[in-house]
Amino acid sequence: MSDKEKSIMAEVERQYGNYGVRTRELCAEGAKAIGYICSFVPLEFITAAGCIPFRIRGDIREPITRGDSLLETIVCPFVRSCFDLCVKDRYDFLSGIVIPHGCDSMVRSYSVWSYSLNFPYFHFVNTPTVVKESSHEFFKEELRSYQKSLEDFTGKAITAEDLQKAVRLHNDNRLKTKALYEFRKADPPLVSAAELHKILTVGASLPVAEANALLDEVLAELGRRTEAPVKKGPRILLDGACVDHSAIADIVAESGGEVVVDTTCMGTRDLWPLADEDGDPVASLARRYLDRLNCPKTYRENTTGTFAGDAEARFGDIGARAKEFTVNGAILYLYKYCDPFGFEVPARKAYYESLDIPLLCLEDTYSAGTVGQLKTRIQAFLEMIG
C-alpha cells in the first residue's frame, strides 16, 4: 500500500471512527446540516438549500436506553437506535431532521422525534406507496412543499438552477460510488467489503461536493492497487434494508468468504439509481425517488398474472447484481419488526430458489449481542456452499 493510499484510507478510517466529525466542524463554523435516516429523503433539496444532508447512523454496540423511555420496543430496532443516539445528543450539531414515509416505524414515531428533539427544523415527506400517474402528480406537489419548508427554514429561495446543480452533484456522487463497486468484481475483490462500507459511510456524512472529492482520491488510489486485500472464497450478495454496520460482512470475511455486492439501502438500492438531469428537476426527483428506488414499501402492480413474472419485476435487480458480481450465495439480513421487508421473505426465498442461489435468511435485533449467533449460522452457510 502506497503512502498516499495509506493517507486517504487513513482519513476514511479517521472519519469513520469519529462519525460526523467533519460536518460537526462545518456546523461549528455556521453551516446547517439536516439529518435523515432513510433513502426516501430527496437529498438534492437539502443540498440546493445550501445545507448538508447527513445520514444518521445507529450503533449496534450502544445499548438503547433513553430512547426506550419514549419509543416502544416494537419499533424497528435500527430506527430505535438512531432515535436513541439523537436523544443522547450524538448528533447535536444537526439543525433538523427529515423523515419520509418509509415505513410505519418512521411514520408513527414522527411526533416522538419532532417533540423530543430540540432541532429547529423538522419535516415529513409523504412518499406515495404506489406508482401511477396520479401518485407522480401528488409527489411533485409534496416535494414542492418540502422545498418550501427548507426555503422558510434557511430564508433562501431554491431556484431551478440550484436544484439542477444539486441533481448533477448527487448523480456524480452515485456514479463514483458505483465505480467503487467495479473493484468488487475481481476475484478476489480489489477492495474489501469492510473498506467499501467505511468509504460509503463516510461519504454519507459529508457535504456532497466534499464526498465527491474524497471518492475521487479513493478511486485513484484503488486504481493503482494490484494486490487484493482479501483472499479468494465464496462470493456473497448481502440483501436487506438499512444495513449501516459491517457486522455481517465482517463475519463473512472472518469465515473465509466475502460480501462482493449488496442490495441494501446504504448500498446499491440507494446509490445506483440516478435522477434525470434534463427537464423539470422536481419531476425528475419525483421519478427517481418513486420509480427507481426499489424498496418493498412501494407497491408495484403485478401486471404479469404469474408469480414468476411478478417476482422478476420486483426482484430483478437482485438477479442482475448476482450475475454481474458472480455470487455463490446470498444472505437476506432483516431486522425484527420490519413489516415492508418481512412480508417479502417467502417471495424473495422463492426468487433466489428460481435463480439457484443458496440463501441464508437472518432476522436480527440490531445489537452487537447477537453477533455470536449470527457467526454460527453464517459459518455453517459458507461451509454448505463452500
Partner 1 sequence: MTEEKKEKKPHKRMTATRAAASIGPMVKEFIAGTNRARKEGTHKLAYTFIVCHHEEILRAMDVLPVWTENFAGVCGAKRDAERFLQRAESLGLSRSLCTYALCGIGYDQWREELGETPPDAPWGGQARPDFMIETGQILCDPRSKWYQASQQFMPDIPIYNIDLPYPLFQRDRDHREVLGYYHRYIVKELRGLIAFLEKQTGRKMNYDRLSELVDLSDRIWNLVHETYELRRAKPSPMGTGDAMNTMVPMNFMMATQECYNFFSDLKKELEEKIARGEGEVEEEKYRLMWGGGLPAWYALNDFNYFNGKGASFPVETTYRMVMPLDEMDLPRTNDPVEHLAWRWLGYWTFWYDKARRRPGSEPDVERLINWVEDYDIDGIVVHQAFSCRTWHVGLIWQLNQLAKIYKPIPVLMIGTAGQKEKTNREVPSLILESDIIDITSYSEIDTRNKIDAFIETLESVRANRAA
| Contact residues for partner 1, defined by CB under 8 A | 69-72, 74-75, 101, 103-105, 107-112, 114-116, 122-124, 126, 128-130, 132, 134-135, 137-138, 141-142, 145, 149, 296-297, 299, 301-302, 305-307, 310, 334, 336-337, 339-340, 342-347, 349-350, 361, 363
Q: Which is nearer to partner 1, 103 or 378 (CB)?
A: 103
Maximal C-alpha separation, the chain: 59
Q: Which is nearer to partner 1, 131 or 274 (CB)?
A: 131
Q: Which is nearer to partner 1, 57 or 80 (CB)?
A: 80
Q: Which is nearer to partner 1, 72 or 277 (CB)?
A: 72
Minimal distance, residue 239 CB to partner 1, in Å: 13
Q: Which is nearer to partner 1, 226 or 306 (CB)?
A: 306
Q: Which is nearer to partner 1, 61 or 148 (CB)?
A: 148
Minimal distance, residue 250 CB to partner 1, in Å: 24
Question: Which residues, at least 6 apart from 25, have a Cβ–Cβ distance to it below 8 Å?
Answer: none
CB atoms within 10 A of CB 46: 28
Minimal distance, residue 339 CB to partner 1, in Å: 4
Please state, in angstroms and as integers, the Cα–Cα distance from residue 172 to each residue in 82, 101, 205, 301, following that order: 28, 26, 16, 31
- List phi, psi (to 5°) of 98: -110, 130
Interatomic CA distance for residues 200 and 196, integer angstroms: 6
Minimal distance, residue 373 CB to partner 1, in Å: 15
| Secondary structure tally for the chain: helices H, strands E | 17, 8
Interatomic CA distance for residues 212 and 215, integer angstroms: 5
- List phi, psi (to 5°) of 350: -65, -35
Minimal distance, residue 246 CB to partner 1, in Å: 24
User: Residue 197: is it exposed, middle or buried by C-beta count within 10 angstroms (0-12/13-18/19+)?
Assistant: buried
Q: Which is nearer to partner 1, 110 or 375 (CB)?
A: 110
Q: Residue 277 corresponds to which cell in the numbers above?
A: 438531469
Minimal distance, residue 178 CB to partner 1, in Å: 29
355 three-class SS: helix
Minimal distance, residue 237 CB to partner 1, in Å: 18
Please state, in angstroms and as integers, the Cα–Cα distance from residue 246 to each residue in 21, 54, 242, 251, 326, following that order: 20, 19, 11, 9, 21
